[in-house]
Structure 1
Amino acid sequence: ELLDALEVCGFLTAQEGAAAHLEAGTWFDALCQAGRAQAVNPGPGVALWVARERLAEVRSASQASEGSTKRAAAAL
């Protein structure tokens, strides 16, 4: 069920995942070991739980966001 949630939502923050169920961290670790999910850290203090099938989307969105931030800072 956790994998289904990650596939449908795209990702969960580690905080959201841990709050969903006491065993969610253990389930996520098992998914990671099976190669079905991965933790992604798009920025300081941010940890995302991502299904393998959604990794490219999450990475792309993270890179686009990072590029927007750099362009905004350069304009200052």
Structure 2
Amino acid sequence: MREVYVSIGENGYVQEWCDIEGKDNLPERFFKVKADEKLIYNVDAVKIVDGIAVLDKKEQQNVMIANGDLINRQIQEEINAL
């Protein structure tokens, strides 16, 4: 685990990560948490619980499905445009 700074979106999940040593130049929306290296830069499915970043596996599945649907629609639109 290491200390990093995050900001939280309206949905309650991490929307931004900042990996700097000091908080001197960070906007006020960032606050310090502890996070596993594997979670750093994962957005849309990480919540902060008692100061620790935690992966919400159900939300991660929802995001993956939504992103897959979006990619499939974009591919279909490109095919239709040919």
TM-score class normalised by the smaller sequence: 0.3 to 0.5
Looking at secondary structure, tell me which structure has more strand per residue.
2
TM-score by length of 2: 0.45
Larger RCO: 1 or 2 (CA < 8 Å, sep 6+): 1
Q: Which structure has the larger Rg? A: 2
Looking at secondary structure, tell me which structure has more helix per residue.
1
